[in-house]
Structure 1
Amino acid sequence: MSTTHSSAATTGAVRTSGAAGSGPRDPKKAAMSGWIGSALEYYDFALYSLAATLVFPTIFFPSENPTVGIIASLATYAVGYVSRPIGAVVLGAYGDRKGRKSVLVFAMLLMGFATFAVGLLPTYGQVGLLAPALLVVLRLIQGFAVAGELGGASAMIVEHSPDARRGFFASFSLQGTQVGSILATAVLLPLSAALPADQFASWGWRIPFLLSAVVIFAGYFIRRRVQEPPAYAATSGDTAQKQRFPLVELLRTRPGALVRCILMTFANVIGMATLIFGVSYATQKGYGNGFSSSEFLWVTLVANIAAVVTIPLFGALSDRIGRRTLMAGGGLLGGVMVGGYLWAIEQGSLPLVFVSVVIVQGIFFQMWNATFATFFQEQFPMRIRVTGFAVSQNIGLMIASFFPSIFTAIAPPGTANVPLTIGLTTFVICLVATVATLMSSDTKGKSLEDLEAHKA
């Protein structure tokens, strides 16, 4: 097995043994499929979040009270997280019972449909309350669809990859999520700057949503060309597996791994403290730090660009030193440095903020982020792998989505020493995630077959 995997590191495709299945592994094609699919789906998801701030409050909600419009618009953004656990259960079962490729193609088309449909919606002025109602429905569909994306993509890549390079290849699906966020910003915000305000509100904002139809078709054809991983294909005729409902088996056989993965997901508090609460802390007048929204748009872009660079580097490093080490170290160091990042904002120095966000978000958090998808996949056996990943990640993210609100509640405008208060809170949450990481099985140097035998 080790000789075969060594050659795979250079050729990118290997042939599995008869025990694991027949046919070629193709990690390069699987990684490309995961990269483009994640980029396109997170382009759609991030595009909505930007539009919910820039334009939706005025065109989909009553305009008499701007504050109510903003709150209602952001509430529709949050709805996307409510439907994610449901999507995780349904699409996770689909991916485990019907195939990784099947769930990825379905999730991409469903996300593309919902995003394209947002671009066609009538406004509040045209149809009244039907407009925000339709917006909520489409946001629910987006959240449902994205829940199956990363779990299916990373399972596909991990099962196609040679054991010695699983972390490197699987990291590309995470890199794709960052690229998608950058693309959404790069498409929507120049339009808002170039067009007169009335034209942007009337039709300009719709263009990025309608463009998703073009790129979704490109991603669809790429994904259709990727074959199921040989090991999974070898079990496709297993009637018992198809009759088994993965969530029930997950809760019965791997409850400990499920809980630990949910807790590990709390490390996302680093990103929420820097790029969500941190933006409010920097730009809201009540906090008095005096940064503009446009300045922090650049801060967010720089953080995402740095992540695009570092993710495959840390993915490759996880194959050498182990994923548990990187996740624990990155989570703790990121948690420690969040207070320093908020202190940099308090000092009013934009260069210092740029340096801090690259260190916290572009380096330390990516040590965790580049690695977790592979590590989570390795915690579950193949027959429930997509479900285990999707359910744990999306329940964890749904809980973590409340962290920015908690931060605002414990450190509202006028609070003394916000960096210390939020920094300590973030560190404690990261400590919980780190303990869960260290309590999980170390996967360094183990083949998927060995891990499968251990979990049998």
Structure 2
Amino acid sequence: MSATPTPAHPEGFTPTGTIATHADRRRVVFATVVGTTVEWYDFFIYAQAAALVFATVFFEPAGAGFAAILSFASVGISFLFRPLGAFLAGHLGDRYGRRVVLMLTLILMGVATTLVGLLPTYAAIGIAAPILLIFLRIVQGISAGGEWGGAVLMAVEHAPKTKRGLFGASPQIGVPLGMLLASAIMAIMTVIAPGDAFLEWGWRIPFLLSFVLILVGYYIRRRVEESPVFTEIAERREATKMPIVQLFRKHWLLVLIAALVFAGNNAVGYMTTGGYIQGYATNPEGPIGLERGPVLWAAAAASVVWLLSTWFAGWVSDRIGRRTTYIIGWLLMLPAIFALFPLVNRGDITSLTLALCLLAVGLGFTYGPQAALYTELFPASIRFSGVSISYAIGAILGGAFAPTIAQAIVQATGSTSGVTWYLTAMVLIGLTATLLLKDRSGIPLGPDHEAEQSVSPIYGLAKA
């Protein structure tokens, strides 16, 4: 096909001129939900195990307190490698398509997770055990860094203009679904393998289950067509040769602000998805000492609330705009943060569940619109790089070491109030970054509108 520009396609049409049917779009939504659920199940099952068993089976020689910090740090270290995954996936996704990247990241994550389930403990092979564990967590981080951008673009670039928030919520709800699945399976294993049996072999089963889930996800994803926006770019032979160079040369400030938006959400979210609250509530030497099973079910219940609020926020952002939806989310999150530890520290499972569910509402409102928001911020030719790298940097600034920071604050001060103020600061950073961005809901996404897309969405700037 000639590289000569062609007229913009009407909403609902693919680059070849055929109508994108309801069945096509439903298949895309289903595939993105299933794929991201499997990916994030893998990612979160590690965080659950880090909170519950890894300090004992991999880091115990460091001593009780420091072993817990090392265990949470192993959760966070993967975030440092998310940008590498985002760079690689962004380059491949902008050059060769969204679909191929999604297949690669799914396989990479599944293999790493399955191998964690087969790792010998420190007692069996010594220092090699935590080294191999951290290596596999790094592989998970590389995969997670590339997964999100591809899933988001497949969903949003297939969507009708008036339903991008709703379609974009489909990969987003895969995250709470992954958390729900991880929490539920871990909780079931505490019943099947209680006490010492859980430490000996029970925790491994959820990791080994990943192999089956990855086969399901792979089968579903390979049946989905490439994003229509990338198909048009490829047909015109207009793929950018060095998309990352173009991104940072023209849009570096936008990448930073978009990353800070996500950082606020991610820091708060990783109190549960990073396993901190679960570890804090079940620590037998801590102030609460609840049983593992009920705490995991509380996290699962909060995941349902997070899922519903994420879906609703995506839907409502199509009506009131991404920016307004985000602002509502930040305002909901602030009182939930101040209620979190007073409720958790009451020491009963009902209060813990209520605290996590309240937090989940604000998390959903600042997560549901993110896919559409990010997609509408960046030009088509460098969009995969833009959304992936912004997301990865935001994860480092936000959730990467949030559980580790929280653990260190509590151990240093003997109080959770410092954690509350830390989370409040992160939310205010996210709110400020949101206020700096213009709402671009409904902006054309195709390559015909590259000039319009390249105008900066940052208040006060005419060019990116």
Shorter chain as denominator, the TM-score bin is: 0.7 to 0.9
Residues 338 and 420 of structure 2 are in contact (CA less than 8 Å); yes or no, is this contact kept in structure 1? yes
Q: Name the stretch that deviates more: 428-437 or 319-328.
A: 428-437
In 2 relative to 1, CA 424–76 (structure 1 residues): closer, same or farther, beyond 3 Å? Answer: closer
Q: Deviation at 1:373?
A: 1.8
Q: Name the stretch that deviates more: 281-290 or 188-197.
A: 281-290
Residues 273 and 426 of structure 1 are in contact (CA less than 8 Å); yes or no, is this contact kept in structure 2? no
CA distance in 2, matches of 1:435, 1:279: 30
CA distance in 2, matches of 1:453, 1:145: 32
- Alignment of 1:266 with 2:256, yes or no, is no
Q: Deviation at 1:117?
A: 1.9
Q: Deviation at 1:317?
A: 0.7
- Alignment of 1:245 with 2:242, yes or no, is yes
Structure 2 SS opposite 1:228 = coil
CA distance in 1, matches of 2:57, 2:409: 33
Describe how 1:358-397 pairs up with structure 2 within 5 A: 358-361=357-360, 363-397=361-395
Q: Identity, % of aligned pairs?
A: 33
Residues 72 and 404 of structure 2 are in contact (CA less than 8 Å); yes or no, is this contact kept in structure 1? no
Structure 2 SS opposite 1:377 = helix
Structure 2 SS opposite 1:83 = helix
Give the alignment's Cα RMSD to 1 decimal. Answer: 2.9
Q: Deviation at 1:355?
A: 3.2
Partner amino acid, structure 2, of 1:117: L
Describe how 1:55-70 pairs up with structure 2 within 5 A: 55-61=53-59, 65-67=63-65, 69-70=67-68
Residues 263 and 436 of structure 1 are in contact (CA less than 8 Å); yes or no, is this contact kept in structure 2? yes
Describe how 1:170-189 pairs up with structure 2 within 5 A: 170-189=168-187
CA distance in 2, matches of 1:314, 1:208: 30
The partner residue of 1:97 within 95, 109, 128 is 95
Describe how 1:1-40 pairs up with structure 2 within 5 A: 5=11, 14-16=12-14, 20-25=15-20, 26-40=24-38
Q: Deviation at 1:263?
A: 1.0
Describe how 1:213-224 pairs up with structure 2 within 5 A: 213-224=211-222
The aligned counterpart of 1:429 is 426
Instruction: Please report the TM-score for the alignment, with normalisation by the length of structure 2.
Output: 0.85
CA distance in 1, matches of 2:358, 2:280: 19
Q: Name the stretch that deviates more: 185-194 or 92-101.
A: 185-194
What are structure 2's unaligned runs of at least 5 residues? 1-6, 455-464
The aligned counterpart of 1:337 is 336
Q: Deviation at 1:150?
A: 1.2
In 2 relative to 1, CA 410–93 (structure 1 residues): closer, same or farther, beyond 3 Å? Answer: same
In 2 relative to 1, CA 453–240 (structure 1 residues): closer, same or farther, beyond 3 Å? Answer: closer
Partner amino acid, structure 1, of 2:301: V
CA distance in 2, matches of 1:406, 1:120: 29
Q: Name the stretch that deviates more: 206-215 or 312-321.
A: 206-215
Q: Name the stretch that deviates more: 338-347 or 297-306.
A: 338-347
In 2 relative to 1, CA 359–59 (structure 1 residues): closer, same or farther, beyond 3 Å? Answer: closer
Once the two structures are superposed, what CA deviation does each residue of 1:224-276 show, in whole Å capped at 9, x if it has no partner?
Answer: 1111122211211455525x222111101112210111110122233245665
Q: Deviation at 1:285?
A: 7.3
In 2 relative to 1, CA 291–137 (structure 1 residues): closer, same or farther, beyond 3 Å? Answer: closer
Once the two structures are superposed, what CA deviation does each residue of 1:366-410 show, in whole Å capped at 9, x if it has no partner?
Answer: 111111121011111121111111111111111212344444555
- Alignment of 1:121 with 2:119, yes or no, is yes
Partner amino acid, structure 2, of 1:32: F
Residues 278 and 295 of structure 2 are in contact (CA less than 8 Å); yes or no, is this contact kept in structure 1? yes
CA distance in 1, matches of 2:72, 2:335: 29
Residues 273 and 338 of structure 1 are in contact (CA less than 8 Å); yes or no, is this contact kept in structure 2? no
The aligned counterpart of 2:453 is 455
Structure 1 SS opposite 2:234 = coil
CA distance in 2, matches of 1:68, 1:403: 16
CA distance in 1, matches of 2:120, 2:113: 14
The aligned counterpart of 2:457 is none
Q: Name the stretch that deviates more: 91-100 or 111-120.
A: 111-120
Structure 1 SS opposite 2:441 = coil
In 2 relative to 1, CA 378–21 (structure 1 residues): closer, same or farther, beyond 3 Å? Answer: farther
Partner amino acid, structure 1, of 2:252: P
The partner residue of 2:231 within 230, 233, 248 is 233
Q: Deviation at 1:58?
A: 3.9
In 2 relative to 1, CA 378–119 (structure 1 residues): closer, same or farther, beyond 3 Å? Answer: same
The aligned counterpart of 2:253 is 256
In 2 relative to 1, CA 49–341 (structure 1 residues): closer, same or farther, beyond 3 Å? Answer: closer
In 2 relative to 1, CA 354–413 (structure 1 residues): closer, same or farther, beyond 3 Å? Answer: farther
Residues 323 and 435 of structure 2 are in contact (CA less than 8 Å); yes or no, is this contact kept in structure 1? yes
The aligned counterpart of 1:443 is 440
Residues 157 and 169 of structure 1 are in contact (CA less than 8 Å); yes or no, is this contact kept in structure 2? yes
Instruction: Please report the TM-score for the alignment, with normalisation by the length of structure 1.
Output: 0.87
CA distance in 2, matches of 1:142, 1:274: 18
In 2 relative to 1, CA 133–354 (structure 1 residues): closer, same or farther, beyond 3 Å? Answer: closer
Describe how 1:153-168 pairs up with structure 2 within 5 A: 153-168=151-166
Q: Name the stretch that deviates more: 444-453 or 132-141.
A: 444-453
Residues 90 and 146 of structure 2 are in contact (CA less than 8 Å); yes or no, is this contact kept in structure 1? yes
Residues 69 and 404 of structure 2 are in contact (CA less than 8 Å); yes or no, is this contact kept in structure 1? no
Structure 2 SS opposite 1:241 = coil
In 2 relative to 1, CA 325–339 (structure 1 residues): closer, same or farther, beyond 3 Å? Answer: same
Residues 35 and 175 of structure 1 are in contact (CA less than 8 Å); yes or no, is this contact kept in structure 2? yes
CA distance in 2, matches of 1:178, 1:360: 13
Residues 102 and 150 of structure 2 are in contact (CA less than 8 Å); yes or no, is this contact kept in structure 1? yes
Q: Deviation at 1:300?
A: 1.6
Q: Deviation at 1:145?
A: 0.6
Q: Name the stretch that deviates more: 295-304 or 193-202.
A: 193-202
Q: Deviation at 1:196?
A: 5.6
Q: How many residues align?
A: 441
Q: Name the stretch that deviates more: 216-225 or 101-110.
A: 216-225
Q: If each structure's helix is expressed as a fraction of its own residues, which one has the higher value?
A: 1
In 2 relative to 1, CA 200–286 (structure 1 residues): closer, same or farther, beyond 3 Å? Answer: closer
The partner residue of 2:203 within 202, 205, 208 is 205
Residues 102 and 151 of structure 2 are in contact (CA less than 8 Å); yes or no, is this contact kept in structure 1? yes
CA distance in 1, matches of 2:9, 2:364: 31
Residues 287 and 414 of structure 1 are in contact (CA less than 8 Å); yes or no, is this contact kept in structure 2? no
The aligned counterpart of 2:311 is 312
Q: Name the stretch that deviates more: 326-335 or 268-277.
A: 268-277
Residues 28 and 169 of structure 1 are in contact (CA less than 8 Å); yes or no, is this contact kept in structure 2? no
CA distance in 2, matches of 1:112, 1:249: 32
Residues 116 and 133 of structure 2 are in contact (CA less than 8 Å); yes or no, is this contact kept in structure 1? yes
